[in-house]
Amino acid sequence: MEEDKPSDATLPRVAYFQHEDIGLFHYGREHPMKPFRIRMADSLVRSYGLLDLKNITVHNTPTASRDDLTRFHDADYVRFLETAEQEAEEEPSSRARFNIDEDCPVFPGMYDFCLLSAGGSIAGARLLNRGKKYGSHICDSASGFCYVNDIVLGILELLRVYKRVLYVDIDVHHGDGVEEAFYTTDRVMTLSLHKFGNFFPYSGDAGDAGAGSGVGYALNAPLHDGMDDASYVALVAPLLRQVMTHFAPDAVVLQCGADSLSQDWLGTFNLTLKGHGFCVDFFRRQGVPLLLLGGGGYTISNVARCWTWETAVALLGAEEASEMLLEDGGTVPRTDPYVDYYLPDLSLRVDATNRPNLNSAEYLDYLRVRFGEALRNLPHRPSVQLGQDVSKIAAEARVSSNCRQMKTGRKTVEDGLPEWLTTLWDVDSNDKDRADRQRQRGDRPTVFSVVPDNAYLNSLTSYFSTPLFASSTVRP
């Protein structure tokens, strides 16, 4: 009923970050990552009139500085990014060292793209920090196959003000880079819901649960092909409620990679917009400061549909967003400059297919029960003093230029995970498949450097966000 609709006074305030150049970069004709999808998403957001709502403000995405990047990344690596275009053919050894290949190629304007990518996430986090007095959240669209880990940079910024940060990754790929960056701290909990098995980055076993003071603060939900809305919500809803109870984050970062949608060119899940947007609506209703980020997504018309939908959810909530965008046919406005890219189907919906769901009810029950036990076994709710030196988390240890072993310093099953954790996830140190996966990961070259707490080494050749917008939701 009309009287039940939220008033302007009760809607969260949203700050939307955008930059007109972010969609112009080009990885190459055959590369699946198309930054142009960000321009399409921004255009569709505007075509639906979302930027005309009273609870949104629009900000121009600033570029990050070199100093911003080196808070986490090795100075040599940042210098390489600055000069890679000029030296691409002259320094093959540098390309190999920094994992520059057909997946992460050198392309025109690459360094500028990195600065914009990091700049949006950092600016969104800083806006949340300034808004702490009244509560806020940020949403930030993104591109994958990335060169800098803007998510880690954003979280480090949040840790200047917030005691505990929750990172949730709903990209179809495991959020390995962010997990590894905070693997040994209890101030950041990471939760990744991803396809597991013979699938990049070949990581994210449920038994990978943190090390040192971070034991239990890395949560991994290894899923199978065909994950649909009903199964997803049945798993995620109770899990998120328990995380909010037992970890009690002061701020949340949610990475909304669209490759977990149905019909994605690389993804294997079967989520519709409503299933994919469940987490956005959940955290919006918590009233917790929230930074929303994009991620992967390789059917570009569906990426634009997804991030437009989730911008509307952040602004209005799922019910109101559905009334505004999906009812009466829910078609892409013909006035949108990129309307031809959606043909022949102008529907905003992304329908599920007949792909079978390989996630059995028994398997999902197993995950729900085990996650509940894991969260109840957390030793304590971490408590730190505000103003604590974040450099203790972003430690000044650097990954040596020739180091290739990612897991140095990380506790393994053999050298010290707690008994309750190994028992909980049925972890077997003699599991040959697990050992093979770990060796496969360890053989990948490392790219990044400054690492938190106990200074384990990490490889960040994964999917991270490149900002289109950031929305800061503020409840009066």
pTM of the predicted structure, to 2 decimals: 0.78
What is the DSSP pairing of strand 251-255 with strand 290-293?
Answer: parallel
Do residues 175 and 257 touch, judged by C-beta distance below 8 A? no
Residue 363 has pLDDT above 70, yes or no: yes
Binding residues: 103, 144, 171, 173, 259, 298
Q: How confident is the model at residue 24 (pLDDT cuts 50, 70, 90)?
A: low
Q: What is the identity of the amino acid at 12?
A: P
* Beta strands, E only, 312-378: none
- CA gap 428, 177 in Å, rounded: 24
pLDDT, mean of residues 220-244: 96
Confidence label for 296 from pLDDT (cuts 50, 70 and 90): confident
Q: Is the pLDDT of residue 464 over 80?
A: no
Can you tell me the distance from the alpha carbon of 128 to that of 71, in angstroms, rounded to the nearest whole number?
19
Whole-angstrom CA distances from 218 to 27, 37, 86, 142, 281 are: 32, 31, 40, 23, 23
Q: How far is CA 358 from the centre of its chain?
A: 24
CA distances from 284 to 11, 126, 144, 154, 316 (A): 10, 19, 24, 19, 9
pLDDT attached to residue 1? 39
The H-assigned helical ranges of 131-228 are 150-158, 176-181
Q: Please state the φ and ψ torsions of residue 285, each to the nearest 5 degrees.
A: -75, -15
Is the peptide bond prior to 445 cis by the omega test (within 30 degrees of 0)? no
Q: How far apart are CA 276 and CA 272, in angstroms?
A: 6
SS3 168: strand
pLDDT of residue 226: 95
pLDDT digits (tens, 9 = 90+) for 261-294: 999 988 899 999 999 999 999 999 998 999 998 8
Q: What is the pLDDT of residue 237?
A: 97
Domain locations in the chain as residue ranges: 10-442
Per residue in 371-421, pLDDT tens?
Answer: 999 999 887 666 565 555 565 565 422 232 222 223 333 434 334 556 656
In this structure, which amino acid lies at residue 267?
A: G
- For residue 373, give both structure tokens: 């036990």
What's the CA gap between 469 and 45, in Å, rounded? 11
The residue-averaged pLDDT of 31-48 equals 77
**pLDDT on residue 282:** 97
Please give the CATH number for the structural domain made up of 10-442. 3.40.800.20
Strand, helix or coil for residue 349: coil
Binding residues for a divalent metal cation: 171, 173, 259
C-alpha span between 19 and 44 (Å, rounded)? 15
Numbered residues of the known binding site for substrate: 103, 144, 298
Which residues does 281 contact at the CB level (< 8 Å), separation at least 6?
A: 313, 317, 318
Segment (H or E) for 432: helix 432-442
Q: Which residue has the higher pLDDT, 463 or 440?
A: 440
Q: Positive or negative CA dihedral for 30, 199, 278, 185?
A: negative
Residue 82 has pLDDT above 70, yes or no: yes
Averaged pLDDT of the chain: 74
- Local structure of 298: helix, strand or coil: coil
Residue 199 DSSP one-character state: S
**Which of 50-54, 82-86, 196-200, 425-429 is predicted most confidently?**
50-54
Q: Across residues 102-128, what is the average pLDDT?
A: 78
Q: What is the predicted pLDDT for the residue at 389?
A: 58
Comparison of pLDDT for 442 and 129, the residue scoring more: 129
